[in-house]
Each structure stands twice: as C-alpha cells, then as structure tokens.
C-alpha cells in the first residue's frame, strides 16, 4: 500500500491531524509550502517531509492525500487534478459550497480512474451530513431540510478565518427546488430548540446547502448558526460592506489583518461542545433530531483520520459526501458524539 500524505500539515488543523495520525501508528508524509515548518514537524513526529506548492504537486508514490490547506476554493482544484492524474484518493476538510459543487462534478472521471474524492471529512460537514441522512431515512419523500448548530467554548483558527473572508462577499446561500440560490447574509432568523435550550439563529452559507442535496435528494435546504440577537442585528447592518470585499487585493488584505495566529487551545478543544438540530418535513409531517459533538476542531482531527483509514481500507471510487460514502453511522465513530 502506498503511503498517504497530509498537505498543509504545518497549519493549525493539519498539525493536529498529523499528531493524531502518528499517535495511532501511521507515518504519513507531511507536506506543505513552508519548508522550515513542515520539516520541523516531520522531524518531531518521525515522518517524511515533502515541500511543494500547488503549481508543482509531488504525489510520487502517494496513495491518498488529506488536503488541509485552505482557503479550499483556491487550493482544492489543483490538488484534485493532481490526485486524479496520480491515481491517489483525495480527502479534505472544506466547508465551502463551490468546492463541493466542483468536486461532485468530477464523479464520473474519478470513478473511471478508480479514485475516491471525499470533500468535507471534518466538522464541515460530517455531523450535519450524517444528521441529514438519518432525518431523510426517518421521513421518506421529505421536501425540506433545516439544519442548525450552536458552538460553545471554541475559537477560530487562522485558516478558518481566511477561508470565511475568501467567500463572505458572496453573502448567504440556500437551496430552493434543487438549485442553490444566493441570498443576503443572515437572510432568515428563527429560534432553534437545541438540546441545551432554545437559541436564536441565522442562516449561513454552510456546506450542507450543497452536500445535503447529494446525500438526501431533498430539494429545499437551509442551515442556521446560533448567535445572539445583537450579533445577528450587527450582521444585517454590515451587509452593505460585504461587496467591498469582492476585489481580490481587498480580500487578501482583510485576511492578513483579521486572521489570528492560532485556534482554540487544548483546554478549549477538550471542553468545547457543539449542539446540532435538524428537521425534515414534507408539508404535512415533520421529524426532528438533535446531536451533540466534541468541539469542532477536536471533531475534525478524529473524523479526518477515521475517514482516511476507511478510504485506505477500500471504498467505492467516485465523488461522495461523507454520509453517502461512509454511511450515516460514520459520525458515531467519533468519541463524544451523542444523540439527544
């Protein structure tokens, strides 16, 4: 079996994933653009280092790539292309709608080449995708899916912040009658009955607007994030500023100024929780379900390595959502996930 490679291993999430993989006995190739950081981490963990940028991808003798270098809307396409050429399976931890859509378009090509493409193998979008699949199974013929989550006790990494800024000028997104539609940011506000209590939440362009359609076939999909009424009001007031981030130089400057150096520390990763709620309906009947998971980055670390192990063990070729490839029960392989 060819070894596997973590690209972006020197980033916040990539390094956590690399450490988890080594803890389990794997020795992945650690790769990225920053030679000093990649080589230092590889020496520490006893792994091979490989330094390259996405204009010259080196997948010699690589069987699988776990891509952790965002913003994925800029980085995924060249890595997917390289994986298809090399016959290497591709996984990433994206939550970006355009990335999902572009990868799913390559299903036939991936199938023909015997390659598995699995975007969204982290917190974006494993728990919500599996929740959507379970809900769809509970009400066949459902026409509407609503998902929501509330993150308690976490913080954003530099990579996540940069990824959010990369696409924030596009506003929000929902799926109506099978088609993704752009809507204003915080387009809709409602109260969500999470297991930990009711919370006000606003719509966001979360990856499930893309993925849940492929997983469930449900044509109308919205995703909400819990936020304080004050934060929601502020988001609505600032809508007019978002188009100002359209020019690439402005986005690059905003990313440089806004992105923090690190993400949540070990204590926050250990004690943070995410509460999820979902509902499907068909116009006359509805089914709902709640789920609680570990903190988002802690979840991603375990989920991504679990997914890599499953793909390395042998799965179908093609482009898939997590629940479609690994089954709705895959979320239960992450310790600390509770259905409430």
| Over residues 316-339, mean pLDDT | 97
Please check whether residues 39 and 114 belong to one and the same domain: yes
CATH of the domain at 163: 3.30.360
SS3 (DSSP) at 250: helix
CATH of the domain at 327: 3.40.50.720
Residue 240 lies in a domain: yes
Residue 95 lies in a domain: yes
Q: List the domain range (segments joined by +) for residue 140.
A: 126-297
Please check whether residues 147 and 182 belong to one and the same domain: yes
Residue 202 lies in a domain: yes
Beta-carbon count within 10 A of 268 CB: 15
| Over residues 70-94, mean pLDDT | 96
Counting residues of the chain whose pLDDT is more than 70, the rounded percentage is: 88
Q: In the prediction, which pLDDT does 287 show?
A: 98
Q: Which two tokens stand for residue 136?
A: 């769809």
* Residue the block writes with tokens 């596997």: 4
Residue 340 lies in a domain: no
- CA-CA distance, 139 to 180, in Å (whole number)? 23
Please check whether residues 132 and 78 belong to one and the same domain: no
Residue 337 lies in a domain: no
Digit-coded pLDDT (tens) for 216-261? 999 999 999 999 998 888 878 776 565 644 555 544 544 455 555 5
Please check whether residues 201 and 311 belong to one and the same domain: no
Digit-coded pLDDT (tens) for 110-149? 999 999 999 999 999 999 999 999 999 999 999 999 999 9
∠ CA 337-159-24, nearest 5°, is: 45
pTM: 0.92
Digit-coded pLDDT (tens) for 3-17? 999 999 999 999 999
Digit-coded pLDDT (tens) for 142-201? 999 999 999 987 655 445 544 544 455 567 899 999 999 999 888 999 999 999 999 999
Domain count, the chain: 2
Please check whether residues 174 and 284 belong to one and the same domain: yes
Strands, E assignment, 256-309: 273-281, 286-294
Please check whether residues 31 and 79 belong to one and the same domain: yes
Please check whether residues 116 and 165 belong to one and the same domain: no
Please check whether residues 96 and 138 belong to one and the same domain: no
Residue 286 lies in a domain: yes
């Amino acid at each position: 079996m060819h070894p596997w490679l973590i690209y972006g291993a020197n980033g916040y999430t990539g390094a956590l994933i690399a450490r988890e993989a080594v803890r389990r006995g794997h020795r992945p190739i650690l790769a990225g653009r920053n030679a000093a950081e990649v080589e230092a981490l590889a020496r520490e963990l006893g792994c091979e280092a490989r330094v390259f940028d996405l204009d010259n991808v080196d997948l010699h003798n690589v069987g699988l790539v776990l891509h952790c270098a965002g913003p994925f809307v800029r980085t995924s396409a060249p890595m997917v292309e390289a994986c298809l050429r090399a016959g290497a399976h591709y996984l990433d931890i994206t939550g970006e709608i355009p990335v999902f859509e572009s990868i799913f378009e390559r299903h036939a090509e991936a199938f023909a080449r015997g390659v598995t493409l699995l975007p969204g193998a982290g917190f974006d979008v494993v728990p919500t995708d599996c929740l959507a699949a379970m809900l769809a199974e509970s009400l066949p013929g459902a026409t509407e899916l609503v998902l929501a989550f509330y993150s308690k006790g976490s913080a954003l990494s530099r990579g996540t912040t940069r990824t959010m800024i990369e696409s924030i000028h596009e506003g929000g997104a929902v799926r109506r009658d099978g088609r993704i539609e752009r809507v204003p940011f915080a387009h809709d506000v409602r109260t969500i009955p999470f297991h930990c209590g009711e919370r006000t939440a606003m719509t966001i362009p979360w990856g499930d607007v893309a993925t849940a359609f492929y997983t469930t076939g449900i044509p109308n999909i919205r995703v909400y994030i819990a936020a304080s009424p004050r934060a929601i009001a502020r988001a609505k007031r600032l809508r007019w500023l978002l188009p100002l981030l359209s020019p690439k130089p402005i986005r690059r400057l905003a990313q440089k100024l806004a992105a923090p150096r690190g993400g949540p520390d070990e204590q926050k990763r250990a004690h943070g929780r995410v509460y999820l709620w979902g509902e499907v309906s068909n116009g006359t009947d509805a089914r709902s379900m709640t789920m609680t998971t570990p903190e988002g980055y802690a979840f991603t670390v375990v989920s991504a390595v679990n997914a890599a192990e499953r793909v390395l063990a042998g799965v179908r070729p093609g482009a898939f959502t997590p629940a479609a490839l690994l089954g709705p029960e895959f979320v239960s392989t992450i310790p600390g996930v509770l259905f409430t």
